[in-house]
Structure 1
Amino acid sequence: MAVSNQQIIAILRELVALTILEEESAQAFRVRALENAIVGIESETRLLAELDEKEMIGIKGVGTSTASKIREFLDTGSIKKLDALRAAYPPDFVALSRIPGVGPKTLKRMRSDLNIENLDDLKAAIDGEKLRGLPGLGAKSEAKIAQSIERLGLHGKDRRTPIAEAMPIALDMVAELRGLKTVEDVQYCGSLRRFSETIGDVDIIVSSNDASAVMEHFVGLPSVSEVIAHGETKSSIITTTGLQVDVRVVTPDEYGAAMVYFTGSKAHNIKLRQIALSRGLLLNEYSLSDSETGKVKASKTEASIYKALGLAYIPPTMREDSGEIEAAADGSIPQVVQLDDIKGDLHFHSDWSGDGRSSIEDMIGAARDRGLD
Structure 2
Amino acid sequence: MTFRNDERSGIAILADDLTSAGDGAAPFRRAGHDARILLSTPAAVPQHAAGVTAVDLGSRVLDEEAATRRTWRAARLFADSELLLKTVDSTLRGHVAVEVRAAWAGSRRRAAIIAPAFPAEGRVTVEGVQYVRGVPVHESDFARDPVHPVRCSDLATVFPEAVLAGPGRAAELPKLIGNGDLIVYSAAGDDDLDRLVAAVPRLDDVLWVGSPGLAAALARRCARAAGSAASVPAPARRPLIVVGSANPATRRQLAALRARADVQGITVSGDPATAVETLRGLTAPVLALQTPDERRAPQTAQALARSLAAVVQALTEEHTVDALIVTGGETAATVLQTLGATGIGLLDEPEPGVARGTLLGQLPLPVLIKAGGFGDDAMLLRLCHLIRHPLDPGEHV
TM over 0.5: no
Structure number with bigger Rg: 1
TM-score using structure 2 length: 0.21
TM-score using structure 1 length: 0.22
| Greater share of strand | 2
Higher relative contact order (CA 8 A, sep 6+): 2
| Greater share of helix | 1
